[in-house]
Amino acid sequence: MKTFLNTLIILVPLCLFTWVAWTYLDVDGINTITWEAEDNSPFVHGLRPAGRVGAVQITEDGDAYYSIDGDPVYLSVTPPGNYETVDIRTWVRTENQPVIEFGATVDAVAGQVDLRPLVNKTLDALNWIQTRRDSLVLYQRHADYGEISDVLQDPPPLSSIATYHYTLPEENSVPRAWTGNGSVRQTQVSLRGFHEFVTVTNGRGFSIDAMYMDMNRNPGEDPVAIRVFQGNELVAEVHAEDDGVVNDTNAALDRRTLHLDVVGLRAGLVKVELNADNDVYWRELSTTLPMLTYSKNVFVGDEVGYLDDPRSVTLWTDAQHITLFTRHAEGVQTVILGDQQVEIAVPHEQYSVENQHVGVTRLTIPKGDLLVVTDGRIAFSQEAFFNPYPVQLSDRINLNKLGVDTILATYPQTTQDGPWTVGQATFWLPPLEKEGGDADQGLNDGSYRFVLSLPNIAERGATVDVHKIEMTFTRSPRSVGDIWQRLVEKLLRKNT
């Protein structure tokens, strides 16, 4: 009995020490933290801003939750160490918000957020044929394809397939008819600030000429650049410095032109960025390729300091939802979309319209000076319009109206936990932006800034309840050498 007690006296502290050391040193490289509504966590720092998050409430089963009615909502997370990935599971509930996404901030200044699908009630409600391959899901109204690989090898027409967080292989989706000879000359519109467009080539090089004016309406320098990408590769660029006027003089010194020759291309899509701030107006643009469409949004600028009178602007778009906005009293006007009239009655107010037509529709802006935000593509001539992408599955999509029969979506499987839908998302941590730091915790940097994205939730008067968030951080397991180094660092830190 005495021997047993002596052994127990030795083993209990040893086991306790081993457990504490295993947990503290994080030997296996896995660490899970859990936050629930009303928790005061050292790692998860609440949902904000407070104006979009209601007071804590309790379900009949005793689950605490916050009700959210605005978009977006932010979540700062201090990791329990330095890790490579995080797997996030989120317990949510909603009746009337179709899309919930979880994101991570990559660059706060540039507004770059890496969004991942969390819950998509549009997809959940489909009674279509489903084929899942890990997180990639094929939805079919009719049994046209046996496997996901069949769709990728021989996709249907782009107008009849929708994608969600997935990109179709370009080589099977760009018709050769788009890559012929021709050119685009855009002279009847002034575009303000940053814009992005795509064109398409059969492999031959092309040139871009852009005439612009720096109107100096805000203090500071206004450098400009044109950058050309194929895939994720920067293939050509040209820069120009500021005109030398850094004060807000409200006048341009002159008209300037950027020229860029682009060579060494393969057949396929080419993306072009017109990089400038809102002091810069792109007055004319020409390319030696025949197709050119802008990505979703264009800022049709005013003509003050360029023309004596404003001019009417015509554009072509396949968008289903369009939001219009002007900052100036001179931008008050009646815009015509197809046979629909949209009255822009006052500045600084957003006007939304749903296109009654499917396909490419004419949009006429009598006086310019209008920000146009869409869910489609835009061109300034009907001949230049093309859309090399499938339909994007948005929170407001009408699949029947658009004639969509096939959907390819990256959508991890959700589960149910009582009334809560549990969605999941995984992030690779090194590219994410962090704020602050804590040397005592051994952190290279401080908190990650995550985002709950709830598109158009306020517009539809919807709410999303958030009960719990579970985060599992992982990295490679520690070796004996890593453990020894970590112990030495801790001891040295305590002695300094």
* Tens of pLDDT, residues 278-320: 999 999 999 999 999 998 899 999 888 888 888 999 999 999 9
pLDDT for position 28: 72
pLDDT for position 272: 97
Look at 3-17, 250-264, 287-301 and tell me which has the smallest mean pLDDT. 3-17
Confidence class for position 445, pLDDT limits 50, 70, 90: low
pLDDT for position 481: 58
pLDDT for position 244: 85
Residue 487 has pLDDT above 90, yes or no: no
pLDDT tens sequence across 12-57: 555 544 544 444 556 778 999 999 998 888 899 889 999 999 999 9
Judge whether 194 and 275 are in contact, CB under 8 Å: yes
The reply to whether 203 and 72 lie within a common domain is no
Residue 53 forms part of a structural domain: yes
- Residues 6+ away with beta carbon under 8 Å from 211: 255, 256, 257, 282, 283, 284, 285
Q: Which of 72, 79, 27, 21 is nearest to 51 (CA)?
A: 72
Residue 4 forms part of a structural domain: no
* 474-485 average pLDDT score: 66
Confidence class for position 434, pLDDT limits 50, 70, 90: confident
Which whole-number Å values give the CA distances from 280 to 92, 185, 287, 378, in the listed order? 44, 19, 20, 20
Name the phi and psi angles at 322, rounded to 5. Answer: -130, 135
Judge whether 429 and 445 are in contact, CB under 8 Å: no
Nearest-angstrom CA–CA distance, 481 and 119: 43
Nearest-angstrom CA–CA distance, 198 and 183: 14
CATH number of the CATH domain containing 65: 2.60.120.260
The reply to whether 467 and 356 lie within a common domain is no
Judge whether 68 and 53 are in contact, CB under 8 Å: yes
Judge whether 99 and 395 are in contact, CB under 8 Å: yes
CA angle 464, 114, 30 (to 5 degrees): 85
Choose one of 406, 436, 452: the last residue of a domain.
406
Identify any residues that bridge with 67 across adjacent strands, giving them in sequence order: 465
pLDDT for position 482: 56
pLDDT for position 194: 95
Buried b (16+ CB within 10 A) or exposed e, 462-492: bbbbbbbbbbbbbbeebeeeeeeebeeeeee
Mean pLDDT of all residues belonging to the chain: 88
Residue 12 forms part of a structural domain: no
Name the phi and psi angles at 69, rounded to 5. Answer: -130, 15
354 against 22, higher pLDDT: 354
The residue with tokens 């959907």 is 407
* 374-403 average pLDDT score: 94
Which whole-number Å values give the CA distances from 68 to 52, 73, 77, 89, 174, in the listed order? 6, 8, 19, 18, 41
Q: Which of 77, 85, 78, 80 is nearest to 25 (CA)?
A: 80
* 363-373 average pLDDT score: 95
Q: Which of 7, 55, 64, 58 is nearest to 35 (CA)?
A: 64
- Residues 6+ away with beta carbon under 8 Å from 172: 152, 153, 154, 155
Choose one of 406, 431, 456: the last residue of a domain.
406
Show the domain range for 453.
29-122+412-476
244 against 68, higher pLDDT: 68
Look at 15-19, 71-75, 225-229 and tell me which has the smallest mean pLDDT. 15-19
Q: What is the pTM of this model?
A: 0.81
Residue 489 forms part of a structural domain: no
Q: Which of 257, 181, 174 is nearest to 213 (CA)?
A: 257
Residue 156 forms part of a structural domain: no
pLDDT for position 346: 96
Residue 363 forms part of a structural domain: yes
Judge whether 274 and 260 are in contact, CB under 8 Å: no
The reply to whether 235 and 89 lie within a common domain is no
Nearest-angstrom CA–CA distance, 47 and 279: 36
pLDDT for position 400: 95
The reply to whether 247 and 373 lie within a common domain is yes
pLDDT for position 322: 96
The reply to whether 66 and 200 lie within a common domain is no
pLDDT for position 20: 46
Residue 258 has pLDDT above 80, yes or no: yes
What does the block give as tokens for 36? 């629930």
pLDDT for position 444: 47
Amino acid at the residue 470: E
Judge whether 103 and 451 are in contact, CB under 8 Å: yes
Residue 243 forms part of a structural domain: yes
What does the block give as tokens for 110? 């540039």
Residue 482 forms part of a structural domain: no
DSSP state for residue 287 in the 8-state scheme? E
Buried b (16+ CB within 10 A) or exposed e, 230-257: beeeebbebebeebebeeeeeebeeebe
In the chain, how many domains are there?
A: 2
DSSP state for residue 477 in the 8-state scheme? P
* 463-483 average pLDDT score: 83
* 102-126 average pLDDT score: 92
The reply to whether 385 and 463 lie within a common domain is no
pLDDT tens sequence across 183-207: 898 989 999 999 999 999 989 999 9
Confidence class for position 176, pLDDT limits 50, 70, 90: low
112 against 419, higher pLDDT: 419
* 132-138 average pLDDT score: 96
Confidence class for position 170, pLDDT limits 50, 70, 90: confident
pLDDT for position 486: 59
What does the block give as tokens for 223? 């450098």
